[in-house]
Structure 1
Amino acid sequence: MDAEPSNCISDLGSVRESGPLCLEGVISVPTLVSSELSGPIWDRCVRTSMAQSETLCIPAHQTDSGGSVQSEREWGQPPAGGSTLAVPDLVLGDGSPPGLSTMGDSDQRGPFVPASWQDLASSPGNLEVVGMAHQGPVVLDTGLPADVQETIASARAPSSRRLYSSKWRVFESWCLSHAEFSFDICVKDDFGDIVKVKIEKGKHFVNFQWFCKNIKVKAPSGKYFEFPCYCWIADDEVIIREGTARLPQDDTGLFKEQREKELESKQEQFSWKEWSPDIPKCADGNVKKLPKEVWFDIVKSAEFTWNSTKAIVDYGLGWLKGYFYPLNDVTDFEKILKDLEKILQDFNIENNLETVMQDWTKDYMFGYQFLNGCNPVMITKCVNLPKNFPVTDEMVKGFLKKGVTLQEELEAGNIYIADYKILDGVPTSSSQLYLAAPICLLYKDRLDQIVPIAIQLSQNRNGETSPIFLPSDNEYDWMLAKMWVKSADFIIHQLVTHLLKTHLISEVFEMAMYRKLSAVHPVYKLLKPHVRFTIAINVAARKNLVNEGGVFSKISSLSVAGMETVMQSAMESLTYESLCFPEAIKARGMEDVPKYYYRDDGKKIWKTINCFVSTVVKIYYDSDEAVQNDTEIQEFVKDVSSGMNNSGKFQKSLKTREDLSEYLTVAIFTASAQHAAVNFGQFDWYAWIPNSPSTMRKPPPEQKGLVDLKWIMESLPDRGCSSLVQGTVWDLSRFQNNEV
């Protein structure tokens, strides 16, 4: 269910008592590299609004198109007791050095306050700096290189001064990904607690956006005020409230009005779109039309694009080699892996993949994957055999413990089943590709291993055209029957377990979060890190993976219509309860099966997340009534229910703190632990194509005794398809460098 081009402004604050005011911040700078030294620099103004209506301002500066100096005045000496302004490592997205001012009863401009060397070096043109201060001249201590320090020290103007930067410094500074700056401001009066900060950015012909991470203010008393922003600043102003989380019922007056306007704006930016009937709704529009905070950051975007490119290159080479080097034996698939290793460089065949390649034909390995493979949610305890799966005691008695019958093992809870009926009747994308809806019966043997004991390759109980394959059949009959099961499992895993039940569901939670929760709501702060990049990755998936002619249609047997049919069928059984991990395990009767590490680890993670979430909920909600009176939470839950698009199978309100804790645990667990469990093992289990074929090129055999190695090789994906599968699952399984 993993870009944020860096251009940014940031971190400001204010003061509680008279004395130095410390402001800190983090800035990202543009990725664009300028080779020109002429042209205007756009302006920006950062204001901090105080409780007592005073505003501290870091105002704009701009060169005129001709680069002329407007004025130049003598610097005065700093007054006795004047404070020192330190601006280390300051790099603004537009190359703008800051000035200082107060905006109260008058707007008198004070002496020029220069910036640091990095700031000067970032300028893509000549700088005309306008700076203002609250209490007369301010002494700058920057520790700059000697030549730049001298230039600044000789500046004379209280209002302006032209500074020049070299091209290599422009290049160096604009390549930085982020920077942090801090400085002190000496203030005369006690402003009280700071409640909000306003950031404004002027409109210009060249109009880069800035990303503001957060603003942190330390008052002389030592008290901190934090203003988390984490958004891009375009042409409009951004008002950031002090970061203390607050419920909507705790806000009144102007704060309540601001909160309502914030949500109105977000609902215009984030609107729902029905991707397909009866499938969860998604974000409306291309990711570039959405606010930049939902984009990939630069690192993730670059790695995602590069990894996808390498996967496509591997596919192209595989497709080309297919003409000259067809696959004649199962071992030939190892050659494709060797080709992939040369392209990816950092990839090597080892650990789990090596074990799969060695043991993929063994029944224990086949059964183990139902417990701890990529799709550990298909297996269910079998109490009664389906009527369309007429397995008899005579068929399987040789595979059960000595002296017991099939019925006795069913009653003892030792029989399990994986039924792929959801694929029955789904049309394929080509007459040359095939899809089956198999049923597989599994058994917990004396070694506590899960092994297959019977496989039927259709939902049709007609034994003449749909025989039940057994471990005692000839080697290739049984091998191909297991391949058909794993091929069906691949389809269900990718479309239902992975795409639908982690990615699309998490997107619904993220969309509803942006639309219905204010940025100061504690639940917004709790959820945001866990749903990060979900919208961006899903937009990419809808564009490149599950679209018509996309990757999935190339590696599977399904068209877009077939994919939608599968997911629509899965939605019929999708409920809120099915996303609650403990209840889902219980519903499948999998509480006591041995060696089920997905269950064991998942229960621990679920419990930990729920404990943490419950603690947070109790901090902000002192009673169940507080949950009921939280209008934003209630609207959030309604919006999630609407976004799920499946006829009211998700609740539309929450009554208690316990309900809220479980609800948020579902959202976090789905986006994090569940997604990790079904995503990051894909290369290990799917890179060896015979273990889990993504598609089949021959129909299922209707009789036993017909299959040989040639039949199997003609059924498995060709070299080009296999190369694309391997490249794709390698890409999907990758951790990004900045991913935890």
Structure 2
Amino acid sequence: MRPLGDLGRLAGEGLRMPGGACQVDTLALHDFASTLRTLGSAPRKRLKVDSYEVIVDEELGDIHLIKIEKRKYWLHDDWYLKYITLKTPYGDYMEFPCYRWISGEGELVLRDGRARLSRDDQICVLKQHRRKELETRQKQYRWTEWNPGFPLSIDAKCHKDLPRDIQFDSEKGVDFVLNYSKAIENLFINRFMHMFQSSWSDFADFEKIFVKISNTISEQVMNHWQEDRIFGYQFLNGCNPVLIQRCTKLPEKLPVTTEMVECSLERQLTLEQEVEQGNIFIVDFELLDGIDANKTDPCTLQFLAAPICLLYKNLANKIVPIAIQLNQVPGEENPIFLPSDAKYDWLLAKIWVRSSDFHVHQTITHLLRTHLVSEVFGIAMYRQLPAVHPVFKLLVAHVRFTIAINTKAREQLICECGLFDKANATGGGGHVQMVQKAMQDLTYTSLCFPEAIKARGMDSTEDIPYYFYRDDGLLVWEAIKTFTADVVGIYYESDQVVVEDQELQDFVRDVYVYGMRGKKASGFPKSVKTREKLSEYLTVVIFTASAQHAAVNFGQYDWCSWIPNAPPTMRAPPPTAKGVVTIEQIVETLPDRGRSCWHLGAVWALSQFQENELFLGMYPEEHFIERPVKEAMARFRKDLAAIVSVIAERNKNKKLPYYYLSPDRIPNSVAI
């Protein structure tokens, strides 16, 4: 049928759908005719969108499914089909959402847009369609092990091997090599690249690559990074606000005494008494102990440390450091550095902590706990939930491009000899070792935001009043959980319905078996048995992909562009004695010019939103057509807008505004 042009042909082909939306009575088939309207788009690089209207004069009967076929022409002409609308002679409408690509010689068979659990399908042809869709997807979306001990990932060596529906519209837009090169060019730092292994002259010398990209926060960092208050603040509201915890007992491996730190204590209490009152906090980088430093460049030695940092809440309720030990085993060659030490001793100790924090942030907080975890949820969703399932319709926007960005990262960024190796001390395999170790601590509870905050003893807003990551995160978590509970309540009228939904249970089990490698200690559920637990589970999926990723990704440029505040590598080992550190030694320890430029290009590129970004609450692809769900979405957007207002009001006149968890800055999915 030519009316559809290059899009193909549309046909009912004897398929039947139960009455309802079409309101077709089988006794009045001779009166039935319909209009089928399709909306699709050509490949987006051609920027062309077309809609087609087809009048069907023949008698079709109750429509169960619609098939769309595309012919193959001599030109490459993939088509993206958004939806098909069917209008009956009586003025009724049926929506058939698609939002998928049709490539080459292909066909799609679509159901109408009403979400249905498997128990709702009583007609054989619908059961067969449901089963066939999952069988096809399970062949396309296969699990594989990228590295031993990692969560399993998609079985694809490169972006073009992925199913067309989950590829980026333009692979060029997420080419890491191209984007880093663009960043270096745009930041006017390419003139330093030829001096790859030469050192900077002093701290001010770093401004030569910084001045072109400064902003409010990064300028504050540049001007105040040496101050203890900024150092401590970053553990609350910087790129990696997930490590700090209240210290309930001083660890034996950090033999710090009251006498050492009494000049920092403001309440005339002993250190042990300060611990009892909840004023002492700790950040332990034990994960880095034993990790191999990068040896991919034989001309430059690179070093890692595994510091322990003790912090104190002073009378102004600010968190400041009071003791730093640069490795895990105490001893004469592993001194405890103090604010009372010589200026450069203390400064270099803090720089080592900041460098260690950067490594844990990039590889664990960011890569493992948002990117890789979200990919697991996405693969399991495509394998076990048909497009008609309400949970698929709910989650599909929150896994958009995640599998693609991770595949691209494995192809160019974190692979052997990839871009990660160029500037990072944990490159060359150290980042792989870190993920393997961190998998032991990746638990379901640690992804539940309120529980994770409470587990670190950081939940009291009175005791810790400036923890904006916590405050904003709790607001967003509750908004998402309210929304998921609304949707769950629409389709699951009881806990028993949840238990009996085999597709849902298979989805949850896939995450446990393949994502968490079947480790019971992970606490990931093998099944979900109540509506409340299902709502929580869906909240974990959405929050991890949206809010948590936003919180730890989009501040990278703000906090890491000033190289001394987040060195990606160190070129000398940690000091083993006090009183010997000089400014010249610090500069020689910091990254050379070339690695600084690579680092700067990386954090700039990684902090950019995608073109045409979709933010939390935005669902332009209407997978749901039911009014109750659309009303739930409207309430969700209203709740998010209220959070935006609260955050904007708080940030007024702040020199260091915290906006990473403002919903209007939270993309729906991990896509960068």
How many Å apart are 1:335 and its aligned residue? 0.1
How many Å apart are 1:254 and its aligned residue? 1.1
User: Which one of the candidate residues 172, 181, 184 is aligned to 1:309?
Assistant: 181
SS, match of residue 280 in structure 1: coil
For 2:249 and 2:576, the matched residues in 1 are separated by 26
How many Å apart are 1:93 and its aligned residue? 4.6
Match of 1:391 in 2: 256
Contact 1:316 1:720 in 2 (8 A): no
Match of 1:221 in 2: 90
Match of 2:67 in 1: 198
Match of 2:166 in 1: 294
How many Å apart are 1:217 and its aligned residue? 2.4
Match of 1:179 in 2: 49
Higher helix share: 2
Counterpart residue type for residue 237 of structure 1: E
Matched, 1:46 2:10: yes
Matched, 1:273 2:144: yes
Contact 1:11 1:215 in 2 (8 A): no
List gaps (5 residues or longer) in structure 2.
18-32, 616-672
How many Å apart are 1:357 and its aligned residue? 0.7
How many Å apart are 1:468 and its aligned residue? 0.2
For 1:643 and 1:636, the matched residues in 2 are separated by 11
For 1:273 and 1:317, the matched residues in 2 are separated by 42
For 1:43 and 1:680, the matched residues in 2 are separated by 39
Instruction: Give the alignment of 1:38-187 within 5 angstroms.
Output: 44-49=8-13, 93=42, 176-183=46-53, 185=55, 187=57
Instruction: Give the alignment of 1:353-368 within 5 angstroms.
Output: 353-368=218-233
User: Which one of the candidate residues 246, 249, 274 is aligned to 2:119?
Assistant: 249
Counterpart residue type for residue 510 of structure 1: G
Match of 1:208 in 2: 77
Match of 2:292 in 1: 427
Match of 2:307 in 1: 438
For 1:496 and 1:310, the matched residues in 2 are separated by 27
For 2:166 and 2:487, the matched residues in 1 are separated by 25
Root-mean-square deviation (CA, aligned residues, Å) is 2.7
Counterpart residue type for residue 173 of structure 2: S
Contact 2:40 2:82 in 1 (8 A): no
How many Å apart are 1:365 and its aligned residue? 0.2
SS, match of residue 9 in structure 2: strand
- Higher relative CO (Cα under 8 Å, sequence separation at least 6) belongs to 2
How many Å apart are 1:544 and its aligned residue? 1.6
Match of 2:542 in 1: 668
> Cα gap change, 1:86/1:533 in structure 2, threshold over 3 Å: closer, same or farther?
closer
Instruction: Give the alignment of 1:344-493 within 5 angstroms.
Output: 348-430=213-295, 432-462=301-331, 464-493=332-361
User: Which one of the candidate residues 111, 131, 137 is aligned to 1:260?
Assistant: 131
For 1:268 and 1:402, the matched residues in 2 are separated by 64
Matched, 1:684 2:554: no
For 1:684 and 1:92, the matched residues in 2 are separated by 37
> Cα gap change, 1:208/1:653 in structure 2, threshold over 3 Å: closer, same or farther?
same
> Cα gap change, 1:621/1:390 in structure 2, threshold over 3 Å: closer, same or farther?
same
Match of 1:327 in 2: 200
Counterpart residue type for residue 516 of structure 2: N
SS, match of residue 399 in structure 1: coil
Matched, 1:581 2:455: no
Counterpart residue type for residue 148 of structure 2: P
Counterpart residue type for residue 321 of structure 2: P
Contact 2:7 2:79 in 1 (8 A): no
Contact 2:40 2:79 in 1 (8 A): no
Instruction: Give the alignment of 1:610-621 within 5 angstroms.
Output: 610-621=481-492
Counterpart residue type for residue 387 of structure 1: E
SS, match of residue 386 in structure 1: coil
How many Å apart are 1:545 and its aligned residue? 1.5
Match of 1:32 in 2: none
Q: What does the per-residue CA deviation read over 1:502-541, in whole Å, with 9 as the maximum and x for residues that have no partner?
A: 0000000000000000000000010010110001100111
How many Å apart are 1:304 and its aligned residue? 6.8
For 2:348 and 2:610, the matched residues in 1 are separated by 36
How many Å apart are 1:319 and its aligned residue? 2.2
For 1:682 and 1:214, the matched residues in 2 are separated by 38
For 1:320 and 1:417, the matched residues in 2 are separated by 41
How many Å apart are 1:86 and its aligned residue? 12
> Cα gap change, 1:287/1:84 in structure 2, threshold over 3 Å: closer, same or farther?
closer
For 1:86 and 1:248, the matched residues in 2 are separated by 27
How many Å apart are 1:203 and its aligned residue? 3.9
For 1:221 and 1:600, the matched residues in 2 are separated by 53
Match of 1:337 in 2: 210
How many Å apart are 1:43 and its aligned residue? 7.9
Q: What does the per-residue CA deviation read over 1:175-209, in whole Å, with 9 as the maximum and x for residues that have no partner?
A: 641313243627475x5553321011234554532
Q: What does the per-residue CA deviation read over 1:699-740, in whole Å, with 9 as the maximum and x for residues that have no partner?
A: 000000010001000100011100111110000000123013
How many Å apart are 1:216 and its aligned residue? 1.9
Match of 1:702 in 2: 576
How many Å apart are 1:401 and its aligned residue? 1.6
Match of 1:27 in 2: none
For 1:478 and 1:92, the matched residues in 2 are separated by 60
Matched, 1:655 2:529: yes
List gaps (5 residues or longer) in structure 1.
1-8, 13-40, 54-82, 95-173, 342-347
Counterpart residue type for residue 289 of structure 1: D
Counterpart residue type for residue 367 of structure 1: G
Q: Which TM-score applies when normalising by structure 2?
A: 0.82
How many Å apart are 1:456 and its aligned residue? 0.2
Q: What does the per-residue CA deviation read over 1:355-403, in whole Å, with 9 as the maximum and x for residues that have no partner?
A: 1111100000000000000000010110101111001011111111242
For 2:561 and 2:584, the matched residues in 1 are separated by 21
Contact 1:480 1:712 in 2 (8 A): yes
SS, match of residue 210 in structure 2: helix
566-575 vs 638-647, greater mean Cα deviation:
638-647
Match of 1:632 in 2: 503
Matched, 1:537 2:501: no
442-451 vs 635-644, greater mean Cα deviation:
635-644
Contact 2:3 2:54 in 1 (8 A): no
> Cα gap change, 1:334/1:197 in structure 2, threshold over 3 Å: closer, same or farther?
same
User: Which one of the candidate residues 548, 553, 556 is aligned to 2:424?
Assistant: 556
For 2:273 and 2:139, the matched residues in 1 are separated by 61
Contact 1:555 1:695 in 2 (8 A): yes
SS, match of residue 398 in structure 1: coil
Q: How many residues align?
A: 585
For 1:535 and 1:10, the matched residues in 2 are separated by 36
Contact 1:384 1:410 in 2 (8 A): yes
Matched, 1:513 2:381: yes
How many Å apart are 1:326 and its aligned residue? 4.3
Contact 1:315 1:721 in 2 (8 A): no
Contact 2:200 2:592 in 1 (8 A): yes
Contact 2:42 2:49 in 1 (8 A): no
Counterpart residue type for residue 320 of structure 1: H
Counterpart residue type for residue 274 of structure 2: E
Percentage identity across paired residues of the two chains: 50
> Cα gap change, 1:50/1:223 in structure 2, threshold over 3 Å: closer, same or farther?
farther
223-232 vs 327-336, greater mean Cα deviation:
223-232
> Cα gap change, 1:233/1:309 in structure 2, threshold over 3 Å: closer, same or farther?
same
SS, match of residue 674 in structure 1: helix
How many Å apart are 1:618 and its aligned residue? 0.6
> Cα gap change, 1:400/1:10 in structure 2, threshold over 3 Å: closer, same or farther?
farther
Q: What does the per-residue CA deviation read over 1:620-660, in whole Å, with 9 as the maximum and x for residues that have no partner?
A: 00111111111100000111112223413211111111111
SS, match of residue 330 in structure 2: coil
SS, match of residue 194 in structure 1: coil
Q: What does the per-residue CA deviation read over 1:127-160, in whole Å, with 9 as the maximum and x for residues that have no partner?
A: xxxxxxxxxxxxxxxxxxxxxxxxxxxxxxxxxx
